[in-house]
C-alpha cells in the first residue's frame, strides 16, 4: 500500500480540517508518510489513514480536495 506525506505544510495547516491533530497524533505524516486507503460511501470518496489495513480512527481521513496537500512517497 502506498504511503503519503505532507508536501505543502502551509497549505495543509490552512486547508485541512483538524490539521493540528494530524501533526500531533500522526507525526510520521511529515516524514516517512502514512498509509491511506480509499473508501467510497454515499457521501463520496474519503481517504482514511490505516494501520494493518484498518482505519486508525473514524475521523482520520482526507477529502479529495485535501489530498492536494499530500504526496505519495512509496
Q: Which of 19, 29, 38, 40 is nearest to 70 (CA)?
A: 29
DSSP string for residues in 41-71: ETTEEEEEEEETTEES-TT-EE-TTGGGGEE
Q: What's the pLDDT score for residue 41?
A: 84
pLDDT tens per residue across span 1-47 = 789 999 999 999 999 999 999 999 999 999 999 999 999 988 899 99
pTM exceeds cut of 0.75: yes
Q: Hey, where are the domains in the chain?
A: 3-72
Q: Are 44 and 64 in contact (CB under 8 A)?
A: yes
pLDDT given for residue 42 in this prediction: 87
Amino acid at each position: 500500500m502506498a504511503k503519503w506525506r505532507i508536501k505543502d505544510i502551509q497549505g495543509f495547516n490552512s486547508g485541512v480540517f483538524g490539521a493540528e491533530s494530524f501533526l500531533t497524533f500522526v507525526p510520521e505524516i511529515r516524514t516517512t508518510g502514512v498509509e491511506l486507503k480509499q473508501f467510497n460511501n454515499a457521501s463520496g470518496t474519503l481517504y482514511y489513514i490505516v494501520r494493518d489495513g484498518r482505519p486508525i480512527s473514524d475521523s482520520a481521513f482526507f477529502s479529495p480536495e485535501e489530498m492536494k496537500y499530500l504526496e505519495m512517497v512509496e
